[in-house]
Amino acid sequence: MSIKESVRQLLAELPEDVKLVAAAKTRTPVEIAEAVEAGIGIVGENYVQEAENAYQEIGKKVEWHFIGHLQKNKVRKAVAFFDMIETVDSVELAAEIDKRCGQIGKIMPVLIEINSGREPQKAGVYPEKAESLIREIAGMKNVRVQGLMTMGPATTQAEELRACFRETKELFDRIKEAALHNVEMRYLSMGMTDSYKVALEEGANMVRIGSGIFGPRD
């Protein structure tokens, strides 16, 4: 299937209140532009430099979400053009985003990345630490927490991810109910090509799809 056909099929299939993020790592600006022409409204990027190149070609007609591991020394560049950072998992990273956004007069929507598989070497905050992290970030002037994001363990079995997605949704609901000042729990970003159907069943309202749009990565 072509990129265009894949996008159209996904957009037709997804419920209307679910946001589709095209996960574009390793794809060329031409490939990304094709997805945008077919109706993609959000591009997800893992690398700041790669994203900058694509942004220069495609510009502001889509939203740009950062979905990779953000190093502190890349924050200044990232905040200049990203519309959301989905992978905040520490006070230090949030503080750097806050500082750099303050310098350019921008308020950055962020999601908190949850290490729902509790894998020590992986990015994300453990579920039980999420609320206290959010309380700390909520005090920052130039950062707005808008929800949670999770990957789950790298397994080919989508069913094995279901428990991780479910726990993340429960956490999302709990934090939403706590109605923390300056925190707006709107987005639950979970699910990729092999797992988005399970993620939707478990309450995701944002899915990040790469190979299901662009084909296999080599």
Q: What are the residues binding ligand PLP (CB under 6 A)? A: 23, 25, 46, 67, 151, 192-194, 208-212
Nearer to ligand PLP, 97 or 199 (CB): 199
Give min distance, CB of 151 to ligand PLP, in A: 6
**Shorter beta-carbon distance to ligand PLP: residue 28 or 182:** 28
Among residues 140 and 147, whose Cβ is nearest to ligand PLP?
147
3-state secondary structure 21-82: EEECCCCCHHHHHHHHHCCCCEEEECCHHHHHHHHHHHHHHCEEEECCCCCHHHHHHHHHHC
Angle at 179 between CA 178 and CA 184, to 5 degrees: 125
CA–CA gap between residue 111 and residue 27 (Å, rounded): 24
Q: Around 85, how many Cα atoms within 13 Å sit in the side-chain half-sphere?
A: 33
In the complex, minimum distance from the CB of residue 182 to ligand PLP, in angstroms, rounded to a whole number: 26
In the beta sheet, which residues pair with residue 25?
Answer: none
Beta carbon nearer to ligand PLP, 97 or 209: 209
Q: What are 41's two structure tokens?
A: 């409204």
**Shortest CB 26 distance to ligand PLP, Å:** 9
Q: How far is the CB of 70 from ligand PLP (least distance, A)?
A: 12
Q: Rank residues 88 and 140 by Cβ distance to ligand PLP and give the closer one.
A: 88
CA distance 97 to 101: 6
Q: How far is the CB of 68 from ligand PLP (least distance, A)?
A: 6
